Amino acid sequence: MRGQGQSPIDAAGIDPRALESLLAFWADAGVDTTYEDAPVDRLAARVRPPQPTPRAAAPQVVARSEQAPAIPQASSQGPDISAAIAEARRLAAECETLEALAAAIAAFDGCGLKFEGARQAVFARGEPNAPLMVIGEGPGAEEDVQSLPFVGRAGKLLDKMIGAAGLTGRVFITNTVYWRPPGNRTPTPQEQMVCQPFLERSIALVKPKVLLLAGGASAKSVLQKSEGILSLRGRWFDWTSSDGAMTLPAMPTLHPAFLLRQPGAKKRAWTDLLMLEERVDRPERPG
Ligand code: URA
In short, whether 150's Cβ falls inside 6 Å of ligand 1 is yes
243-247 long-range Cβ contacts below 8 angstroms, 24+ apart: 246/203, 246/204
> pLDDT tens digit string along 139-168?
999 999 999 999 999 999 999 999 999 999
CA dihedral sign of residues 160, 258, 148, 193: positive
pTM confidence score? 0.76
Could you tell me which residues come within 8 angstroms of residue 133 by beta carbon, excluding any fewer than 6 positions away?
Answer: 171, 172, 173, 174, 202, 203, 206, 208, 210, 211, 212
Least confident of 20-29, 79-88, 102-111, 264-273: 20-29
Cα gap 81→196, rounded to integer Å = 12
Q: Is the pLDDT of residue 65 over 50?
A: no
Residues in the chain: 287
> pLDDT tens digit string along 24-62?
555 544 455 555 556 666 555 455 545 544 443 333 333
pLDDT score, position 37: 58
pLDDT score, position 27: 52
pLDDT score, position 285: 77
Radius of gyration of the chain (CA): 21
From 150, 199, 222, 259, the mutation candidate for ligand 1 (largest count of ligand atoms within 8 A of CB) is 150
CA 134 to centroid of ligand 1, rounded, Å: 10
pLDDT score, position 73: 37
In short, whether 143's Cβ falls inside 6 Å of ligand 1 is yes
Closest atom, ligand 1, to C-alpha of 122: 6
Determine the CATH number of domain 82-281: 3.40.470.10
Closest atom, ligand 1, to C-alpha of 136: 3
Mean pLDDT of the chain: 84
CA 271 to centroid of ligand 1, rounded, Å: 21
In short, whether 192's Cβ falls inside 6 Å of ligand 1 is no
CA 36 to centroid of ligand 1, rounded, Å: 24
> pLDDT tens digit string along 186-237?
999 999 999 999 999 999 999 999 999 999 999 999 999 999 999 999 999 9
pLDDT score, position 80: 87
Cα gap 52→155, rounded to integer Å = 35
Please give the C-alpha separations between residue 157 and each of 135, 261, 268, in angstroms, as whole numbers.
Answer: 15, 12, 15
Strands of 153-264, DSSP E: 171-175, 210-214, 237-240, 247-253
